[in-house]
Structure 1
């Protein structure tokens, strides 16, 4: 099923000159991964401490875009500049789920948002990423199947942050948006598990 993740290769092409410059200056993939995590936690703290405030909400789409860029760069540094490591693999997977939790759980504090839906969405996001990793355990490739992967979650929460920053606080709107994310997250888990099993069986 279609997902924003499918645009990753084009995004990487745009970032490749930056990646080469960072590699030439001694920046490592793990440093970039940790920078993305630190940025996410910092923005998450702002959202948590100042729930519903304009500045953290308006910053969220920018932070999510920068995080996406850093996530692409750390992968390119690892693959294209011989920086792959076991530590990097651990940091990459843990960094993604920790960043998601830090950035998205604060939305559950907002009075016009259904908190359990947001918490459920974050939980399913973690399970979805775990499902993608479990694929490797059974001998398949790391699965990134959609329709609601990391980039799609970022797009949803970035949009919601923007809408909230400009005063759109209708509870029904966010029940629909986050509810759709919840349903799509469940479909994503199923698709990743099914694709991993099919890949293994066809190998």
Structure 2
């Protein structure tokens, strides 16, 4: 199933010189992971605090930076001998915490069902959970789409551009959330099937 995640190898190749420079400077994978998580929490917090669609413009830039940081921490761990058990925990927890922090601002949107926002956030966590469970049944960590972490980032980034420009889109967002929840359920089932 097509997913933005499939672009990751080319993205990593572009970031490799920067990653090598960070490694030489003594920056660790865990530091990058924690920074990405704190950045996401701060961004979600600012949007919730300001309660304005204009602040959704932060999302595209922050989500792009977060995806870059996620790629960098992985390369630091794999290519610069920084793998650790703590890093594995931070990586998975950081992703889920960051997703929730950046999705929470959807609750402030007028006319949008909080139940659908909650369902999307819940499914985002479940999708990542079933991906992490795969090694327990003898398979690799699963990343299939169509609504994995990278795909959610793309959708949220697009919303960050569209909503401030065309606030009328909010009136139709419930329909979009139904589709996103359905795609998340499909992604969860897809990952389970592959792992089995």
Q: Smaller-chain TM-score range?
A: over 0.9
1:177 to partner: Cα distance: 2.1
Partners of 1:52 and 1:164 within 8 A in 2:
no
1:118 to partner: Cα distance: 1.2
1:77 to partner: Cα distance: 0.2
Structure-2 residue corresponding to 1:133: 132
Whole-Å Cα distance in 1 between the matches of residues 5 and 116 of structure 2?
24
1:15-51 Cα distance to aligned partner (Å, 9 max, x none): 0000000000000000000010011001010111112
User: How high is the TM-score relative to the length of structure 1?
Assistant: 0.93
Deviates more, 1:41-50 or 1:175-184: 175-184
Whole-Å Cα distance in 2 between the matches of residues 64 and 165 of structure 1?
17
Structure-2 residue corresponding to 1:184: 183
Whole-Å Cα distance in 2 between the matches of residues 107 and 59 of structure 1?
13
1:72-107 Cα distance to aligned partner (Å, 9 max, x none): 000000000000000000000000000001010121
Structure-1 residue corresponding to 2:112: 113
Aligned 1:21-60 pairs, distance under 5 A:
21-54=21-54, 56-60=55-59
Structure-1 residue corresponding to 2:6: 6
SS in 2 for 1:169: helix
Q: Is residue 2:157 matched to residue 1:166?
A: no
Partners of 2:163 and 2:169 within 8 A in 1:
no
- Following TM superposition, where does structure 1 have runs of at least 4 consecutive aligned residues deviating by more than 4 angstroms? none
Q: Is residue 2:133 matched to residue 1:104?
A: no
Whole-Å Cα distance in 2 between the matches of residues 53 and 172 of structure 1?
14
Whole-Å Cα distance in 2 between the matches of residues 135 and 76 of structure 1?
22
Deviates more, 1:87-96 or 1:104-113: 104-113
SS in 1 for 2:167: coil
Structure-2 residue corresponding to 1:65: 64
Unpaired runs of 5+ residues, structure 2, are: none
Structure-1 residue corresponding to 2:94: 95
Number of equivalenced pairs: 196
Partners of 1:114 and 1:171 within 8 A in 2:
no
Partners of 2:32 and 2:72 within 8 A in 1:
yes
